[in-house]
């Protein structure tokens, strides 16, 4: 009776299609996505602000203009330290990113729990574990990268505004373009890494859900 040898393996859904399914889901759950996003935006904005601001201060110290040095000292900058951030600041940034990581994981786990029936249904329709992993991975990563991009712009903007308010035109006269670009890239990478790391656990949790959940009638 058994003739299991001729069962083909279920087709693997390609990335572009997974992407489209996930994105349409995100668009239609926009409000929820925005909340998850906000956490990433704020964390990356903070990181970016710190890095860019540091780059500005350094550039101004290196410029070594008398009037600027006075201005710097008036603002409690130790011009002999070269504008380096102290270890406490690094710790603060680290903690912010960690909080953000936990936040995304939490938001995504909630999304998985909320959609347990949906995942069950997808599996009844023939979705493989791999599809579910990919779909949640894409969802979480896209949210993270968008959040990081917004955070980047916000952080840059705030850093420029704050520096201009205190140092006026010096900000642009000593504008450290390469260092600012490096700060932006570092922030973006940190955001991407953060959201990809945060995606792993929820994606696997989602894939482990069983199709039997689809049949459970809630109430």
Which residues of this chain interact with another protein, rule CB under 8 A? 1-4, 7-11, 13, 17, 21, 24-25, 28-29, 117-118, 120-129, 131, 210-212, 214-215, 217-218
Q: Least Å distance between CB 141 and another protein?
A: 18
- Within 8 A by CB and 6+ apart from 118, the residues are none
The full DSSP string for 5-46 is GGPPPPPPPPHHHHHHHHHHHHHHTHHHHHHHHHHHHHHHHH
CA distance 141 to 92: 24
Between residues 131 and 137, which has the closer beta carbon with respect to another protein?
131
Q: Least Å distance between CB 124 and another protein?
A: 5
- Within 8 A by CB and 6+ apart from 58, the residues are 82, 83, 176, 179
Between residues 56 and 136, which has the closer beta carbon with respect to another protein?
136
Q: Least Å distance between CB 137 and another protein?
A: 17
Q: Which spans in 168-176 are helix H?
A: 170-173
Q: Least Å distance between CB 17 and another protein?
A: 6
């Amino acid at each position: 009776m058994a003739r299991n040898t001729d069962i083909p393996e279920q087709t693997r859904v390609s990335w572009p299609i997974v992407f489209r399914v996930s994105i349409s889901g995100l668009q239609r759950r926009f409000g929820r996505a925005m909340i998850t996003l906000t956490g990433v935006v704020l964390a990356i904005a903070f990181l970016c602000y710190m890095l860019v601001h540091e780059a500005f201060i350094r550039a101004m110290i290196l410029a070594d203009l008398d009037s600027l040095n006075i201005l710097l000292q008036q603002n409690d900058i130790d011009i002999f330290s070269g504008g380096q951030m102290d270890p406490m600041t690094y710790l603060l940034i680290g903690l912010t990113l960690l909080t953000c990581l936990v936040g995304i994981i939490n938001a995504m786990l909630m999304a998985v729990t909320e959609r347990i029936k949906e995942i069950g249904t997808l599996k009844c329709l023939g979705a493989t574990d791999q599809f579910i992993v990919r779909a949640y991975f894409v969802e979480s990563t896209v949210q993270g990268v968008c959040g990081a991009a917004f955070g980047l712009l916000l952080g840059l903007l705030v850093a420029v505004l704050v520096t201009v308010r205190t140092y006026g035109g010096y900000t642009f006269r000593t504008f450290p373009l390469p260092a600012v670009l490096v700060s932006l890239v570092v922030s973006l990478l940190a955001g991407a890494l953060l959201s990809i790391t945060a995606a792993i656990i929820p994606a696997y949790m989602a894939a482990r859900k069983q199709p039997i959940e689809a049949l459970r009638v809630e109430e």
